[in-house]
Amino acid sequence: GAGVSQSPSNKVTEKGKDVELRCDPISGHTALYWYRQSLGQGLEFLIYFQGNSAPDKSGLPSDRFSAERTGGSVSTLTIQRTQQEDSAVYLCASSSDFHEQYFGPGTRLTVT
């Protein structure tokens, strides 16, 4: 049983470019979450998916951020026209219900 996987592990991009971050949850987990953690800061909730329900997008910081989850499994977080303040570690987590969440290793995004 593999854990949550994320790719890429590191991404350096120029300001204004679009980026896509991928998350592959634990097999069988119906809920998937995206968080952001800036250096030395706590976890900031971005978005979550539960089964076939409409995603909760209440944490997305701007309309440049979007996410989708295909087939109830893999999710992609897209950031358009990246800004320097988008630099952070983006963490994905999954759970089998609304309870224990298990995190992936994260994607470190650096916007230059």
Partner 1 sequence: QKEVEQNSGPLSVPEGAIASLNCTYSDRGSQSFFWYRQYSGKSPELIMFIYSNGDKEDGRFTAQLNKASQYVSLLIRDSQPSDSATYLCAVLGSSARQLTFGSGTQLTVLP
The residue to which tokens 């963490």 are assigned: 91
Of the residues 100, 109, 111, 112, which one makes contact with partner 1 according to CB under 8 A? 100
3-state secondary structure of 84: helix
25 near partner 1, judged by CB under 8 A: no
Name the E strands within the chain. Answer: 5-7, 10-13, 19-24, 31-37, 43-50, 65-69, 75-79, 88-95, 102-103, 107-111
Report strand pairing: 10-13 vs 107-111: parallel
104 near partner 1, judged by CB under 8 A: yes
Bridge partners of 56, per DSSP, are 48
Only segment of 10-18, 42-50, 61-69, 76-84 that touches partner 1 (CB under 8 A): 42-50
Only segment of 12-20, 68-76, 79-87, 97-105 that touches partner 1 (CB under 8 A): 97-105
Q: Rounded to the nearest whole angstrom, what is the least distance from the CB of residue 16 to partner 1 in the complex?
A: 28
Residues 67-86 that bind partner 1 (CB under 8 A): none
Summarize as ranges the residues that interact with partner 1 (CB under 8 A): 33, 41-43, 45, 48, 50, 56, 59, 89, 91, 98-106
